[in-house]
Chains A and B, each alone.
Chain A
């Protein structure tokens, strides 16, 4: 499956606004009740605000022109009541609609994040972190802006507009028709230009994603930029993406502003049309002057929401472009699904078996060619070989970070794909080449994803650590379990990160533990300690060790030599050494 979001075909964007909006509504179906309530409030509110001019018009025609002030006062009282009621309903409506907006944003962010969690490692390798962050943050924020700032106005404007439109038609059918002619022009104009506006916004968001990716890369690697004297280069690269972002944003901005002046012109023209038409109709005795005054107000009630709709419509296009980018992620499926076991052979002697495995990263060359081997329970295996030979790839297949392109990986005689992620991750521990810590404390990192000890006090946990023979490693951290660590930066050394990753994996008590150069930056004295800890793991634990430093693999029961995508048994350590010494470096 292709996970590269930047290579997505354009055709997905073709889906109509309506269809996209419907999908979006489906996602927020829990908000249906509030949405309906808010809509009802909005209807009442719009009705009340439309009632105002009608009452005023009536009062003018019947009382002011007939010089009856007490009638004016009565209508004033009615009007005040209507305004107060409108105030309450208005507040109710704002609360409800705003709540819908906030909850929608909440649901949407959760949905994107949840989806991202479902996707396999391949997805993260094919996309830049900065671009993903931009999608989760900035694109959902575009939707947020629409929902929290525009949706209320959007819906209430549409309701007011329709209400006013109906009033215009009901009061006087012919005058109404005249007043609505410019609206038809607006409709056509909008329909024609909307896709273009959305496209421009999509392009602008894409460059924002690139900007974010560039910043992410540069800032996270800032020390290289300083040490290699490339501050100017950082500025230059940043200026380039900044400039592109500026260009596309200006285009998007201009596109977004195309509606408003035109809408405004049409709404003004409507007034003129009503005046001219109204005067003509009064002359023919079909219309009164009081009606004309309130009619002019109604025209305003129809067109001034339409005028605000112009900029809201642009916001809607922005939100839809953001939604498209989010939908691209939501539409992805993990290619690592759990399958029915077809190879079930019951009990098997070997814990793990590779059977004719071929593998290549998506879009790349084949890395592993027809590999078969098996690992037995309780033994220690070492994978050695030159850099780039396929050791890490082999280990990644064992942990099912990827599936083989052909062949099968069997765990306890069953296809590894038939295990649930939960069961699999309990059995297989994998200490990655690049250790990763979450910002927090050592304790939080040790217990990360390990619910067994979560409720333990520090004392109890220290006991557990002692039983796992890890207490000497913990002692290397000044404040023990409560030592603070940060995910990025140099507050903690690479070796220390590796120690935490090691302890974390051991505490999970996996049946199969893979160490991918997991101790490369740890000093040799501590490393001996790690060796002892590995020795003292429960008997049935199988260990797979990938290392360059040979002392770490001395204790292996069996050594596999991995080179050029082939995995072969190397026999003795001496034999493995000879092989290693005699191969070229590059594969």
Chain B
């Protein structure tokens, strides 16, 4: 049901895709038609030659000249057609990719997660490719095929309308079988694309999880998973093939019947003297001209069906509602934070339940709590990565969504929990935001205690770090990410479990550096270690999406048994922490 409606919506879509290239497509079709027009002339010249010979008026000179001229013109036009075809298809592909990436880049984080990055990857590469193929092959082929069919039909009619009508009777039969096949194959192509998504996911996960697979020695298992998906793909491929395997022979048979009609009926006309032998020769030549484009359309139907399925997927992305913020406030951030009855739901699950608290600018706040308590989501709300399902998150009296997002993000530094390092130089990784100056980068590097490490690298800041940062240790990645956040000279610094991968000694130094170099900064830190945050202005204890206690360390030690339990779980080691 759903597919039916979306199919109908997409039909004008794939044509409207070509609208901006109308000029190019027009020229393309024009050159194609001109080339083909001259092509139609060739059999005529040959036919005239045969006739001239039978009448004894054959003159090789002018005939060859005429013929060679036509051939040359055809050569020029086909080259022009092919050049245009290449440019048009590549340009459509490039522009489609650009508008997809523009669209994606304007979307919010949750949208991208929901749309699923590996599916978007297929959209951007494979789906665009099949549309490219459609433009480069189908548009010109369809135009020229239809033109040749019409042209050949007219010429046939001119030569002998009775015979022509008899031959043309085959066309509707071909049309009907064609239509039936296309209808049947459409859903198969969409299903096939879905299997491809699945196949891609298996490949993606087997690449991203390569280390785990090797530790567990589960290569065979992965291979079996892949085999499952691949077998499904094979079955779909074979079912699609069966349908097309029926179509082409049917078209060929029907077209061959055309020759039969010409032989019998045309033979009759020639015998009865109502048709010349030369006309007869031209007639059979035009029939070959007529059959070939019909066969081509048969082969193109595959490309068209595939492109239609791909375009449907791409339109779904392009027509998705914009989720980007429309905020306009560009006040500078002081750092007064207030959460008012904030609830966040992921599907049915409440991740945060009715959270309210406030933070004064320039203070230091820690959020502690067990795994999956919703700590990270708290920070995501402040960054605008997710939106509250209900309630408000206010920064200096405005909701995060009220802010002009560019302006806001330039003042908020966020150190993510998972290591995210881009495959570029250390400098680009740290000065990730455009407005970072040499000075602020220097300060950030010093603060994150990266100076010595960078100095030890072969090409200093210009050393390229590999994808997923596998050439850096866990702690080094974490510090690069801190430097990235600090280089913004943020007013508000959000740390998500920053200390997890940095040793105690380094951690202390770094936090001291932050205090010293970025005085007055508002700090919100999600952490596991109480020892490092004991002196903070406020500590929030988050459990299962609820704030169950809040206050200074001393207050919590008296008021919250849960806090005391966490404290005790760490106490034996805090002796060592205190020594340093």
Q: Is A133 a contact of B207 with CB atoms below 8 Å?
A: yes
For residue A364, CB closer than 8 A to chain B, the reply is yes
List residues of A (409-423) whose CB comes within 8 Å of B's CBs. Answer: 421-422
CA distance A196 to B87 in the complex (A): 19
Instruction: Give A229's nearest chain B residue, CB to CB.
Output: B409
CA distance A246 to B262 in the complex (A): 48
For residue A220, CB closer than 8 A to chain B, the reply is yes
Instruction: Give A238's nearest chain B residue, CB to CB.
Output: B101
List residues of A (369-411) whose CB comes within 8 Å of B's CBs. Answer: 385-389, 391-392, 399, 401
A-B contact pairs, 29 of them (CB 8 A): A76-B263, A83-B257, A87-B252, A106-B233, A110-B230, A114-B223, A120-B214, A121-B211, A138-B126, A215-B125, A223-B420, A227-B414, A228-B433, A246-B91, A262-B75, A264-B78, A268-B74, A272-B64, A276-B60, A279-B58, A293-B284, A438-B209, A439-B201, A439-B205, A498-B371, A521-B417, A522-B528, A523-B373, A548-B500
* Distance to closest chain B CB from A59 (angstroms): 6
Q: 6 extra interchain contacts, Cβ-Cβ under 8 A, other than A260-B82, A392-B474?
A: A76-B263, A225-B105, A226-B108, A401-B215, A428-B215, A490-B376
For residue A171, CB closer than 8 A to chain B, the reply is no
Q: Is A551 a contact of B573 with CB atoms below 8 Å?
A: yes
* Distance to closest chain B CB from A114 (angstroms): 6
* Distance to closest chain B CB from A433 (angstroms): 5
Q: Is B579 a contact of A581 with CB atoms below 8 Å?
A: yes
Chain A residues near B433: list those with CB within 8 A: 228-230
Chain B residues near A300: list those with CB within 8 A: 285, 288
Main secondary structure of the interface of B (DSSP, over half): helix
Q: Which of A227, A364, A499, A549 has the most CB of B within 10 A?
A: A227
For residue A190, CB closer than 8 A to chain B, the reply is no
A94-B248, A276-B60, A526-B371 known; A59+B284 contact, CB < 8 A: no
For residue A166, CB closer than 8 A to chain B, the reply is no
A261-B78, A387-B503, A494-B417 known; A581+B580 contact, CB < 8 A: yes
Chain B residues near A385: list those with CB within 8 A: 503
Instruction: Give B221's nearest chain A residue, CB to CB.
Output: A449
Q: Is A425 a contact of B369 with CB atoms below 8 Å?
A: no
CA distance A479 to B253 in the complex (A): 61
A83-B257, A387-B502, A554-B572 known; A523+B368 contact, CB < 8 A: yes
Q: Is A228 a contact of B217 with CB atoms below 8 Å?
A: no
Q: What 0/1 pattern do residues 397 to 431 of B give for CB contact below 8 A with A?
A: 00000000110011010101111101100000000
* Distance to closest chain A CB from B271 (angstroms): 5
Q: Is A249 a contact of B217 with CB atoms below 8 Å?
A: no
A226-B409, A493-B376 known; A231+B259 contact, CB < 8 A: no
Chain B residues near A269: list those with CB within 8 A: 68, 71
* Distance to closest chain B CB from A514 (angstroms): 9
Q: Is B423 a contact of A219 with CB atoms below 8 Å?
A: no
Q: Is B384 a contact of A226 with CB atoms below 8 Å?
A: yes
Chain B residues near A234: list those with CB within 8 A: 101, 105
For residue B97, CB closer than 8 A to chain A, the reply is yes
Q: Is B121 a contact of A524 with CB atoms below 8 Å?
A: no
Interface size on B, residues (CB 8 A): 184
Q: Is B385 a contact of A223 with CB atoms below 8 Å?
A: yes
Q: Is A148 a contact of B204 with CB atoms below 8 Å?
A: no
Binding stretch for chain B, among A10-18, A64-72, A339-347: A64-72
Interface size on A, residues (CB 8 A): 181
Q: Is A133 a contact of B204 with CB atoms below 8 Å?
A: yes
A272-B67, A433-B474 known; A76+B260 contact, CB < 8 A: yes
For residue B208, CB closer than 8 A to chain A, the reply is yes
* Distance to closest chain B CB from A176 (angstroms): 18
Q: What 0/1 pattern do residues 498 to 520 of B give for CB contact below 8 A with A?
A: 01111111100100000000000
List residues of B (62-110) whose CB comes within 8 Å of A's CBs. Answer: 63-64, 67-68, 70-72, 74-75, 78-79, 82-83, 85-87, 89-91, 93-94, 97-98, 101-102, 104-106, 108-109
Q: Is B71 a contact of A268 with CB atoms below 8 Å?
A: yes
For residue A103, CB closer than 8 A to chain B, the reply is yes
Q: Is B504 a contact of A90 with CB atoms below 8 Å?
A: no
Q: Is B200 a contact of A137 with CB atoms below 8 Å?
A: yes
* Distance to closest chain A CB from B41 (angstroms): 11
Q: Is A264 a contact of B200 with CB atoms below 8 Å?
A: no
Chain A residues near B53: list those with CB within 8 A: 279, 282, 289
List residues of A (482-499) whose CB comes within 8 Å of B's CBs. Answer: 487-496, 498-499
For residue A585, CB closer than 8 A to chain B, the reply is yes
Q: Is B372 a contact of A261 with CB atoms below 8 Å?
A: no
For residue B4, CB closer than 8 A to chain A, the reply is no
Q: Which of A239, A265, A385, A548 has the most CB of B within 10 A?
A: A548
* Distance to closest chain B CB from A261 (angstroms): 4
CA distance A26 to B360 in the complex (A): 72
For residue B453, CB closer than 8 A to chain A, the reply is yes
CA distance A525 to B529 in the complex (A): 11
* Distance to closest chain A CB from B82 (angstroms): 4
For residue B179, CB closer than 8 A to chain A, the reply is no
Instruction: Give B253's nearest chain A residue, CB to CB.
Output: A87
Chain A residues near B475: list those with CB within 8 A: 386-388, 548
For residue B363, CB closer than 8 A to chain A, the reply is no
* Distance to closest chain A CB from B514 (angstroms): 15
User: What 10 A-B pairs come out closest when comparing CB atoms?
Assistant: A387-B475, A495-B371, A449-B218, A425-B217, A253-B86, A257-B82, A94-B245, A98-B241, A261-B78, A219-B117
CA distance A249 to B96 in the complex (A): 15
List residues of A (1-58) whose CB comes within 8 Å of B's CBs. Answer: 49, 52, 56
Q: Is B467 a contact of A87 with CB atoms below 8 Å?
A: no
From B78, B122, B208, B406, A129 is in contact (CB under 8 Å) with B208
For residue B559, CB closer than 8 A to chain A, the reply is no
* Distance to closest chain A CB from B580 (angstroms): 5
CA distance A281 to B102 in the complex (A): 67
For residue B157, CB closer than 8 A to chain A, the reply is no
Binding stretch for chain A, among B21-29, B148-156, B312-320, B562-570: B562-570
* Distance to closest chain A CB from B342 (angstroms): 17
Q: Is B277 a contact of A580 with CB atoms below 8 Å?
A: no
For residue B383, CB closer than 8 A to chain A, the reply is yes
For residue B169, CB closer than 8 A to chain A, the reply is no
* Distance to closest chain A CB from B462 (angstroms): 16
Binding stretch for chain A, among B42-50, B170-178, B328-336: B42-50
From A233, A282, A521, B497 is in contact (CB under 8 Å) with A521
CA distance A330 to B48 in the complex (A): 58
A86-B253, A229-B410 known; A586+B452 contact, CB < 8 A: yes
A148-B237, A243-B94, A548-B501 known; A528+B569 contact, CB < 8 A: yes
From A129, A227, A386, A520, B385 is in contact (CB under 8 Å) with A227
Q: Is B101 a contact of A554 with CB atoms below 8 Å?
A: no
* Distance to closest chain B CB from A549 (angstroms): 7
Chain A residues near B346: list those with CB within 8 A: 491
* Distance to closest chain A CB from B268 (angstroms): 6
A265-B71, A586-B453 known; A113+B206 contact, CB < 8 A: yes
Instruction: Give B481's nearest chain A residue, CB to CB.
Output: A224
* Distance to closest chain A CB from B14 (angstroms): 20
Q: Is A59 a contact of B93 with CB atoms below 8 Å?
A: no
From B93, B281, B449, B467, A217 is in contact (CB under 8 Å) with B467
CA distance A84 to B105 in the complex (A): 57
* Distance to closest chain A CB from B173 (angstroms): 14
CA distance A522 to B569 in the complex (A): 13
For residue A170, CB closer than 8 A to chain B, the reply is no
Q: Is A525 a contact of B566 with CB atoms below 8 Å?
A: yes
Chain B residues near A421: list those with CB within 8 A: 217
CA distance A212 to B104 in the complex (A): 15
* Distance to closest chain B CB from A233 (angstroms): 7
Q: Is B246 a contact of A91 with CB atoms below 8 Å?
A: yes
A265-B71, A399-B215, A421-B217 known; A585+B506 contact, CB < 8 A: yes
A231-B106, A494-B417 known; A124+B207 contact, CB < 8 A: yes
Instruction: Give B281's nearest chain A residue, CB to CB.
Output: A293
Chain B residues near A488: list those with CB within 8 A: 113, 116-118
CA distance A471 to B214 in the complex (A): 27
Q: What 0/1 pattern do residues 215 to 227 of B give for CB contact below 8 A with A?
A: 1111111110011
